[in-house]
Amino acid sequence: MLQPARQYYTPEEYLWLEARAIYKSEYFDGEIYAMAGGSPNHGQVAVNIIGELHSLFKGKTCRVLNSDSRVGVQSNRFYTYPDVSVVCGSLEFVEGRTDTIINPIVIIEVLSPSTRSYDRGLKFERYRAISSLQAYVVIDSERIFIEFFRKIEDGNWLLETLTEFTSNLKLKMVEAELPLSAIYDKVEFENQS
């Protein structure tokens, strides 16, 4: 059986199409992928984090951005919409644009069953090419489980895993500490004992 030929796009074509689209898409090495919506738990976790960080950043130079803010990684032809990103200081954009950020310090992805492997693997690999990035956090929306990757001085990444409701996610690079009880506030887990 013949497979249809794949359509490849330049980053410029993707950005032009995305500016006119009625839904968000991710760009990866010449291909465009529609992004799916999340579950109520996924949305609740993202809102909780954004609310906590917004409160902590009042009067400071850091700002928290939601999944409407596109991040571009030009060196590896990757454009996506993280669930949460943090920028400190001025926003920097892809050259000639004002809608694609290139300087996040922290990126947070809330895991869904369909994106779990991708967010923890290939997506993190692409994000690591962002020179400003100092922390990558993946948060499970179906159980209390957070993987916190922190860039250390030699350029490697250190992993800390948080699984206790009484723990705190310590984002020292942006002077923020988030209790897991706040991150998971109002999240309803299916298989609670």
Q: Output the domain CATH number for residue 99.
A: 3.90.1570.10
Is there a domain that residue 29 lies in?
A: no
Is there a domain that residue 58 lies in?
A: yes
On the question of pLDDT at 191 being above 70, the answer is: no
Per-residue pLDDT averaged across 49-76, rounded? 96
The pLDDT of residue 113: 82
8-56 pLDDT, tens digit each: 999 999 999 999 998 899 999 899 998 877 889 999 999 999 999 999 9
Residue 10 DSSP one-character state: -
Is there a domain that residue 14 lies in?
A: no
Residues 6+ apart with CB under 8 A from 26: 32, 33, 35, 78, 79, 80, 81
Is there a domain that residue 18 lies in?
A: no
The count of domains in the chain is: 1
**Degrees, nearest 5: CA angle 33-44-123:** 35
On the question of pLDDT at 2 being above 70, the answer is: no
The pLDDT of residue 117: 86
The pLDDT of residue 38: 82
Q: What average pLDDT is seen over the chain?
A: 93
What's at 189, amino acid-wise? F
The pLDDT of residue 3: 55
Is there a domain that residue 144 lies in?
A: yes
77-136 pLDDT, tens digit each: 899 999 999 999 999 999 999 999 999 999 999 998 888 888 999 999 999 999 999 999
Is there a domain that residue 49 lies in?
A: yes
Alpha-carbon torsion 60, 184, 137, 111, what sign?
Answer: negative
Domain that holds residue 138: 36-183
Residue 60 DSSP one-character state: S
pTM for the model stands at 0.92
What's at 49, amino acid-wise? I
The pLDDT of residue 7: 86
Q: What percent of the chain has pLDDT over 90?
A: 81
